[in-house]
Structure 1
Amino acid sequence: MTASAAPTVARSAPELVPPAGPTPGGTLPLSSIDKTAAVRVSVDFVQVFPPAAGAAVGDQGAAVAAMRDGFARALVPYYPVAGRIADASPGEPVVECTGQGVWFVEAAASCALADVNNLERPLLIPKDELLPRPPPEEKLEDLIVMAQVTKFTCGGFAVGICFSHLVFDGQGAAQFLKAAGEMARGLPAPSVAPVWDRDAIPDPPKLPRGPPPSFTAFSFVTQRHGRGVQVAPPCIQLPDDAEVRLGFAASTRHLLQGVLPSVEGYYGNCVYPVGITRTSKAIREAPLPEVIGVMRGAKEALTARFTDWMHGGAKEDHYNVPLDYGTVTVSDWSRVGFNEVDYGFGEPGYVFTVNDHVNIVASVIYLKPPTPKRGIRLMLRCVEEPHAAAFADELAKYE
């Protein structure tokens, strides 16, 4: 690619990759956690694979074919993923095991990864060109997984993944992708056998949710900070008595031992919201160790709160979080497992989320920085432009 030419991506039409063998049919229920904690939206992210040592550009076609075959073979034990989400009744989603398969897109970029700064932000290739999209007759919200692999002239790849949060949490989606990678590399079966068993999780009585939350489309800006900083709820220029909240989805897999026939291999949602609520003034004036202590206390209460919820003893719906400018959610993607997926061309050097269009709640996402950098990478979308400079100044105090 010349210095003046803008990079382009040529994409093939999406093709269905069906399971490589026969799979069961029928309808499978989702768990009470799936239906309560998750929403019927696609989570989008990109894995960046630098050129493998000694690999030739001419080998890319064979590598993509093996990856496609890995998905097909993984869909046999993970047969629900080859199906579609449907509604058994209003507000009651299920998975229909149709065996149709997952949509797979092949693409080729006109440049090397180095020419686009290895896909670090600001992106020099529009994110929509790196993500798979189905044919127009398919409903995006009914699909469970899609993949696009983009070849770069240097021999590297980018893999764009879209998965349904209704069927997987992050760890569950990573488990499926690891299985696809293992099968692509020739393993006869996934190293971790998949477990569905959604109906083993109790369905607690539904708590009164009150009025539905109002959704505001905020104009969040994207910021990055490469050092290990603590993130407090956004108090910038809010009234002293305004409520501010920090929340995160804590894993409850360890609390489902004895509830599920087998926790290992379970790939459904295993999360429960943990958070703190204080006034803007209280957070602004509190020493940082005090704020951290409050957060730790909330996390230590997870076992009791989740157990109460699962057995119908909860007095309030902790999943119903106010979505206003005073709420920020924190997600740790650095240990979910997306950085450990190997489709046959090594593990990714960088993984980043591209759900920038989700502007109804402020977010902070922990990522691993691109190899060989160390530390963490923060993706911050929690303030609007009038407060961005002040927020950056606050972060700079912790360098």
Structure 2
Amino acid sequence: MGFTVTKISEGYVRPAEPTPPGSLNLDWIGRYPTHRGLVDSLHIFKYGKDPAGVIRKALARALVHYYPIAGRIVQPEGCEPRIECTGDGVWFVAASADCSLADVNYLERPMMLGQNDILPYTELETSPANTLVMIQVTEFTCGGFVMGLRTNHAFADGLGSAQVISAIGDLARGLPEPIVKPVWNRDSSPNPKIKPAPLPDLPKLALEYSAVDFPTRYLNQLKKQYKVHSNGKWCSTFDIIIAKVWQCRTRAIYSDPDVNIRLCFFASTRHILKIDKGYCGNSIFPVKVLATSGKINTLSVVEIVDLIKEAKDQMATDVQKWANDEFEVDPFSMTFNYETIYISDWTKLGFSEVDYGWGVPVYCGPFTNNDYIASCILLKAPVPFEGTRLIARCVSKEHIDAFNKRVNQFD
């Protein structure tokens, strides 16, 4: 059965009060070529009373505090890109679906509504790459709603974007001002002179989608195994899951033991650089783990955790080296090929705790359809499941069955 989403109203929401003019520099990471673009995500709520109206009003008030996101990214000839605080506003769409969330299986894959139905798009002259935030609130017949969110990575990383959305939630619940005040000072973020590497070639990998829910009991079991293995040391859920995924993927793909493979993820540097709480920008650094396929194929999950933790321990030194402009080669340069897998952790960004007055979302996560990066994303599992969800686009059709069989073994 086909369902229809009707876009009831759309337009720019501007700050509720006058805001300062001027410019805001993008930080070094925000100016990086691969970060200039919108990150799409879906945030699903079981109930809301006039959610579009409430969120629209709260957004206008939030823009008084977070006024740069009502501006646009500009790049005059011969200059670095920056945010011009124009007050033009955030593109906002109110929509209505003729079905319940249950009818479309809470937007689980395979999707029963199209991307254009639930994410905000504008046909106006402003380029999406120059906008900072776009929002669509779609109400369903069951009383639930979905926020389709598009945020520009040039402006902020996941923590910064979640901070903005949390501020809207604070004001929607009736608070007089956001709990976390924004910090715009770009001086606290490193600005090394090293030039970004050129954009890498983007291969067409034809990657298959899969989703895995890791039970808490299984994760705790592996954490206990690691504690024994390491003589009492601690490891995180993130460490366990990405070690398991890397092992399963490698065993599913490679029989040749001499293939050089990589595991990559970005980690927050706020604690290392002592960035002020409330910093609304990018403060991340790439962590890269290199090994041969033969090595990963023969190691246990807890032994692979050792490799991951060693790379994480090295990060503080590398961040300071980068901040002091001591790298000869750009540490942010990326390789996009089948031998490299990228991991993103959404479990601690703050999106899952956003409350507009009717409770936190039953599910939220990125909306991805790319075929050029082998990637996995960790999310809080949807209610009522307890555990961690993994969304993967990391193997081709010929390897998907072997990967799924291995990654779903929880004994």
What's the TM-score, normalizing by structure 1? 0.91
Distance (Å, rounded) in 2 between the aligned partners of 1:71 and 1:291: 44
Q: Which residue of the partner structure matches residue 123 of structure 2?
A: 135
> Could you tell me which residue of structure 2 aligns to residue 169 of structure 1?
157
Contact 1:46–1:159 at 8 Å: present in 2 too? yes
1:297 aligns with 2:310: yes
Aligned partner of 1:308 among 318, 321, 339: 321
**Cα distance, 1:30 vs structure 2:** 0.8
Q: What's the counterpart of residue 408 of structure 2?
A: 396
* 8 A Cα contact 1:12 1:107, kept in partner: yes
Output aligned runs, 1:120-159, within 5 Å: 120-159=108-147
Deviation at 1:120, TM superposition (A): 1.8
Measured against aligned partners, the alpha-carbon deviations of 1:120-160 in whole angstroms (never above 9, x if no partner) come to 22221122211001123221101100100000111111110
User: Aligned residue for 2:209?
Assistant: 222
Aligned: 1:321 with 2:337: no
CA contact (8 A) 2:379 2:390 kept: yes
Compare 86-95 and 358-367 and name the one that shifted more. Answer: 86-95
CA contact (8 A) 1:195 1:267 kept: yes
User: CA offset at residue 304 of structure 1?
Assistant: 0.5
Question: Deviation per CA, 1:147-192, whole angstroms, max 9, x where unpaired?
Answer: 0000011111111000001101111111000101111222111111
SS of the residue corresponding to residue 309 of structure 1 reads helix
Q: Are 1:243 and 2:251 an aligned pair?
A: no
Which secondary structure state, in structure 2, belongs to the residue aligned with residue 222 of structure 1?
strand
Alignment of 1:1-399 (within 5 A): 5-36=1-32, 39-51=35-47, 59-60=49-50, 63-89=51-77, 92-206=80-194, 209=197, 212-227=199-214, 228=219, 229=241, 230-232=244-246, 234-235=249-250, 236-238=252-254, 239-257=256-274, 260=275, 263-356=276-369, 358-399=370-411
Higher helix share: 2
Query: Identity across aligned pairs (percent)?
Result: 39
Query: Does the 8 Å CA contact 2:196/2:333 hold for their aligned counterparts?
Result: no
Q: Output the amino acid matched with 2:206.
A: S
Change over 3 Å in CA distance of 1:19–1:36 after alignment to 2: same
Tell which deviates more after alignment, 177-186 or 230-239. Answer: 230-239
Distance 1:342 1:289 in 2: 37
Q: For residue 237 of structure 1, what is the amino acid of its counterpart?
A: I
Structure 1 residue 46: Cα displacement: 0.6
The structure 1 segments of at least 4 consecutive aligned residues displaced by more than 6 Å after TM superposition are none
Q: Bigger shift: 310-319 or 326-335?
A: 310-319
Structure 2 residue runs of 5 or longer lacking an equivalent are: 220-240
Structure-2 separation of matches of 1:66 and 1:6: 29
CA offsets 1:22-71 (integer angstroms, 9 cap, x no match): 1111121111132238511110011000026xxxxxx42xx321210100
CA change 1:81–1:212 in 2 (3 A) is closer
Contact 1:66 1:185 in 2 (8 A): no
Structure 2: how far apart are the matches of 1:110 and 1:23? 39
- Between 1:190-199 and 1:86-95, the stretch displaced more is 86-95
> Which secondary structure state, in structure 1, belongs to the residue aligned with residue 403 of structure 2?
helix
Q: What is the count of residue pairs matched by the alignment? A: 381
Alpha-carbon separation, structure 1, partners of 2:179 and 2:270: 19
Letter aligned with residue 196 of structure 1: W
CA drift at 1:240: 2.9
The Cα offsets for residues 312-366 of structure 1, whole Å up to 9 and x where unpaired, read as 122432211211101111111111111111123321111121121x222111101
CA distance in 1, matches of 2:313, 2:79: 32
> What RMSD, in angstroms, separates the aligned Cα atoms of the two structures?
1.8
Q: Partners in 1 of 2:376 and 2:401 — Cα distance?
A: 17
Contact 2:194 2:328 in 1 (8 A): no
In 1, Cα distance between the equivalents of 2:309 and 2:410? 20
Distance in 2 between residues matched to 1:90 and 1:397, nearest whole Å: 55
> For residues 173 and 254 of structure 1, do their structure 2 counterparts lie closer, same or farther at Cα, with a shift above 3 Å needed?
same
Unaligned runs of 5+ in 1: 53-58
